[in-house]
Structure formats: structure tokens, C-alpha cells
Amino acid sequence: MSTDAMNDPMHEVLRHWQAAFDGHRTDAMADLFTPDALFQGFGPETVSGRDAVRGYYEAVPHYRRAHLGDVRGYRIGDHVAGGFADVTFRDPTGWAAPVHLSLVLQHEGGRWRIRQYHVSRIATDH
């Protein structure tokens, strides 16, 4: 990984997010979000807050993994950043869901946290 990628908030947050997701560590996952985060996952509803995020990830099967692809980030000043990532969620049954993930990040308490999370599933020809 390049030095630029190591200093990019998107790469930093997504490294922690992937480790927490793959380890099914829902408290660690929720802590990656701001207290008032907006979250749009695979479900039809947008939810808000760490408790809702924790609940969402508690419902994800423990054997599911996230595979990161291309990550692109940007910064707006010292306290706001965002970007996009290609992620494929997979599990041992052969299930796979490629998505575009968009994040808005906020720097607070000495670290970057996710303020807005949005998944857009990529249609595949099957």
C-alpha cells in the first residue's frame, strides 16, 4: 500500500471496518461510526446511531467476509473526508454481493469515524 493510501482517511477507516466485519466484532464496528451516523445497508430503511448500526451487524452471519477492491478518497479540510470503495461481501456457501460503498467521514476525538454509510448493490448478469 502506498504512503498516500496509508495517510488517507478512507483507507484507514476501511482497514478497521474490514477487520471488525470479518471478525464479527459488532461493538468494534459500531465504534467506527459517529453517535448520530446515518446508515443505509442492504435493508430498505435508513437507520441512525451506533445502536442501530450494531443491531444491523449483529444480524449479519458470522461467516460472511468483506473483500475490499478499489478505494478512492477525498478530504474537505481537516475534519471531513469521504469517498467510495468497491466491496464484495462473500460467504462459504458461494453467496456473493458486489457493492459500491460510499462514506462520509468526520474526524472527532482524535480519530476518523463514519458519519454516513451507503451501500449500492451492483447488478450482475445471473
Q: What is the pLDDT of residues 28-72, one digit of tens each?
A: 999 999 999 999 998 889 999 999 999 999 999 999 999 999 999
pLDDT digits (tens, 9 = 90+) for 11-36: 999 999 999 999 999 999 999 999 99
DSSP 61-109: -TT-EEEEEEEEEEEETTTEEEEEEEEEEE-TTS-EEEEEEEEEEEEET
SS3 assignment, position 25: coil
Q: Which amino acid is at 123?
A: A
Cβ count near 84 (within 10 Å): 17
Quick one: pLDDT band at residue 109, thresholds 50, 70, 90? Answer: confident
- Residue 116's Cα: distance from chain center in Å? 9
